[in-house]
C-alpha cells in the first residue's frame, strides 16, 4: 500500500494557483516538502489531510481518496498544523486526553502515559501547558497525534519558531517514529534540517515541484564542490570558462559552481578584481540543499520565477 500518492493535485485560490499539478509518490519514509513561505506547502498538506478540497487532480492516502473517502483517511492519519495549538489552561495530560477520547482509544490512561513518555513529557505531564517551552508544546502536539497510532503523520513546519536544541530534539523524535514504521510527511523551509533528517525531499516553488529526490542525490547534481564568495561592487559579466554564478543568498553569500572548484578560485578572484569588484572572501565548500534550492529556484529573496533553463544547462555540463 503506497502511503501517499498525488496525481495532478492542484489548488486555486481565486485566480492564484497555490498548488500546481503536483505528482508525488511517498513511500514508508520521512518525506520533506521544502519551499519558502508562500510556496504552497500548507495548502498541499491541507488537501492531503482532507481539510481542503483540491480544485483539480486527486490524492490517495493509504489507497483512500482524500475527497471521496475522507473519513477513512482521517482514521489513518494525524495532522499537526503549523500554528502551535495546545490549550495552555489545560495540563499536558488533559491535552492528550482530549485527543485520546475523541479518537475513542480503548485503554486510554495507558495510551496517554505511553505517548507522553515517548515524547519525554512524563515528568511535566500534570503541569499546565502555560508553563511549557515552545519545544515541549510541539512535543505535546506530537503526543496528541500519536494516540491512535496513525499510519501517516503530517507535520506542517514542526520546528518553526523553536531554538536549535528544541529543533534537534523534534527531528530525533521524528526519526524514532519512522523507525517504528510510520510514514512522515513533513514540511519545512529550513533546508539544512531537511538535509539531515529526510529520506527524500520535494522542492516546491510557487506551487510546482521543482525536484524530488534524496538530499544527497540532489546535492550530488551540483558536483563535489561549490565556490562561496563575499563580494561587493560590479561583477559577473565575464566569468572564467566553466564557472557559473548560481545566485546570491539573503545572507550576502554569492555561490558559483564549477568542476574542480578549488583550482578555479585564483582565476575567479583575478577576473572579479579586474572587473572592479572587491572580493572579501572566496572559499570552497560542499553543496547544501540550500544551494540546490538556489540553483533550481533562484534567489530566495527576490522570489524570481523558476528558471529551470539555468539549472538544466548547469546539470548538462556536469553530465
Partner 1 sequence: MKDIFYYFERDMLRWVRGRVSVISALVMPAAWLIFVGLALPTTFTENYIDFITPGILVLTMLGASLQGGSLLIFDKILGFLNKFLALPSSRESILFGKILFITARGLLQATVILLLALVLGASFLSPWSLVLTYAILALFGVLLSAFSTTIALYLSDHDAYAAFNAMVSMPLFFTSSALMPYSVMPAWLSALAYWNPVSYAIDAIRALQEGVLAWSRIGALLFLATVVVGISVRQFRKVTL
Ligand X SMILES: Nc1ncnc2c1ncn2[C@@H]1O[C@H](COP(=O)(O)OP(=O)(O)O)[C@@H](O)[C@H]1O
Residues present in the chain in total: 319
* 258 near ligand X, judged by CB under 6 A: no
CB atoms closer than 10 angstroms to residue 107: 9
CB half-sphere exposure, 53, CA atoms < 13 A: 4
Interface residue with partner 1 among 28, 55, 82, 122 (CB under 8 A) is 82
Site string for ligand X, 10-29 (x = CB under 6 A): ---x--x-x-----------
| Cα–Cα distance list, 25 to 19, 156, 173, 307 (Å) | 16, 18, 24, 24
Of 197, 182, 75, 49, nearest to 118 by C-alpha is 182
* 53 near partner 1, judged by CB under 8 A: yes
Considering the complex, state which of residue 87 and residue 113 has its C-beta at the smaller distance from partner 1.
87
The site partner of 16 among ligand X, Mg ion, partner 1, none (C-beta below 5 to 8 Å per kind) is: ligand X
* 51 near partner 1, judged by CB under 8 A: yes
Considering the complex, state which of residue 41 and residue 64 has its C-beta at the smaller distance from Mg ion.
41
Q: Which of residues 126-185 bind partner 1 (CB under 8 A)?
A: 144
Interface residue with Mg ion among 42, 44, 144, 159 (CB under 5 A) is 42
Q: Can you state the angle between helices 134-146 and 108-118, rounded to 10 degrees? A: 140
Interface residue with partner 1 among 2, 16, 102, 305 (CB under 8 A) is 102
Phi, psi of 100 (to 5 degrees): -60, -40
The site partner of 39 among ligand X, Mg ion, partner 1, none (C-beta below 5 to 8 Å per kind) is: ligand X
Q: Smallest distance, Å, CB 266 to partner 1?
A: 54
* 49 near partner 1, judged by CB under 8 A: yes
Cell of 115: 505517548
Considering the complex, state which of residue 158 and residue 248 has its C-beta at the smaller distance from Mg ion.
158
| Cα–Cα distance list, 238 to 262, 277, 294, 310, 316 (Å) | 19, 12, 21, 17, 21
Applying CB under 8 A, the span of 29-37, 81-89, 187-195, 220-228 interacting with partner 1 comes to 81-89
What's the 3-state SS for 220-265? Answer: HCCCCCEEEEEEECCCCCCCCCCCEEEEECCCCCEEEECCCHHHHH
The site partner of 103 among Mg ion, ligand X, partner 1, none (C-beta below 5 to 8 Å per kind) is: partner 1
CA distance 222 to 315: 7
The site partner of 162 among ligand X, partner 1, Mg ion, none (C-beta below 5 to 8 Å per kind) is: none
Considering the complex, state which of residue 46 and residue 202 has its C-beta at the smaller distance from partner 1.
46
Q: Which residues pair with 16 in a beta bridge?
A: 13
Interface residue with ligand X among 3, 40, 54, 215 (CB under 6 A) is 40
Cell of 47: 488537501
- What residues contact residue 28 under an 8 Å CB cut-off, 6+ apart? 3, 181, 183
Q: Smallest distance, Å, CB 102 to partner 1?
A: 5
The residues that touch partner 1, with contacts defined as CB under 8 A, are: 46, 49-53, 71, 74-75, 77-85, 87, 89-90, 94, 98-99, 101-104, 144
Q: Using CB under 5 A, list all residues that contact Mg ion.
A: 41-42
Amino acid at each position: 500500500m503506497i502511503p501517499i500518492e498525488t496525481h495532478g493535485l492542484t489548488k486555486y485560490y481565486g485566480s492564484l494557483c497555490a498548488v500546481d499539478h503536483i505528482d508525488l509518490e511517498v513511500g514508508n519514509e520521512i518525506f520533506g516538502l521544502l519551499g519558502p513561505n508562500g510556496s504552497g506547502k500548507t495548502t498541499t498538506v491541507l488537501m492531503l489531510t482532507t481539510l481542503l478540497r483540491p480544485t483539480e487532480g486527486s490524492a490517495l492516502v493509504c489507497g483512500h481518496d482524500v475527497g471521496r473517502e475522507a473519513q477513512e483517511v482521517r482514521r489513518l492519519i494525524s495532522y499537526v498544523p503549523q500554528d502551535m495549538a495546545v490549550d495552555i489552561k489545560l495540563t499536558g495530560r488533559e491535552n492528550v486526553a482530549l485527543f485520546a477520547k475523541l479518537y475513542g482509544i480503548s485503554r486510554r490512561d495507558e495510551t496517554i502515559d505511553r505517548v507522553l513518555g515517548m515524547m519525554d513529557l512524563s515528568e511535566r505531564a500534570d503541569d499546565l501547558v502555560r508553563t511549557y517551552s515552545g519545544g515541549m508544546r510541539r512535543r505535546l502536539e506530537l503526543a496528541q497525534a500519536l494516540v491512535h497510532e496513525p499510519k501517516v503523520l503530517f507535520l506542517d513546519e514542526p520546528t518553526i519558531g523553536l531554538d536549535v536544541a528544541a529543533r534537534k530534539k523534534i527531528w530525533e523524535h521524528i526519526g524514532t517514529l519512522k523507525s517504528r514504521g510510520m510514514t512522515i510527511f513533513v514540511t519545512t523551509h529550513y533546508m539544512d534540517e531537511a538535509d539531515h533528517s529526510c529520506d527524500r525531499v520535494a522542492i516546491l516553488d510557487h506551487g510546482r515541484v521543482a525536484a524530488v529526490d534524496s538530499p544527497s542525490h540532489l546535492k550530488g547534481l551540483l558536483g563535489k564542490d561549490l565556490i562561496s564568495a563575499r563580494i561587493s561592487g560590479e561583477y559577473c559579466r565575464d566569468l572564467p570558462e566553466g564557472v557559473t554564478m548560481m545566485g546570491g543568498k539573503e545572507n550576502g553569500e554569492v555561490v558559483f559552481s564549477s568542476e574542480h572548484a578549488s583550482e578555479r578560485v585564483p582565476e575567479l578572484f583575478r577576473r572579479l578584481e579586474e572587473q572592479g569588484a572587491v572580493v572579501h572572501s572566496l572559499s570552497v565548500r560542499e553543496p547544501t540543499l540550500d544551494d540546490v534550492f538556489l540553483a533550481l529556484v533562484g534567489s530566495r529573496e527576490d522570489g524570481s520565477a523558476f528558471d529551470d533553463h539555468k539549472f538544466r544547462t548547469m546539470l548538462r555540463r556536469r553530465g
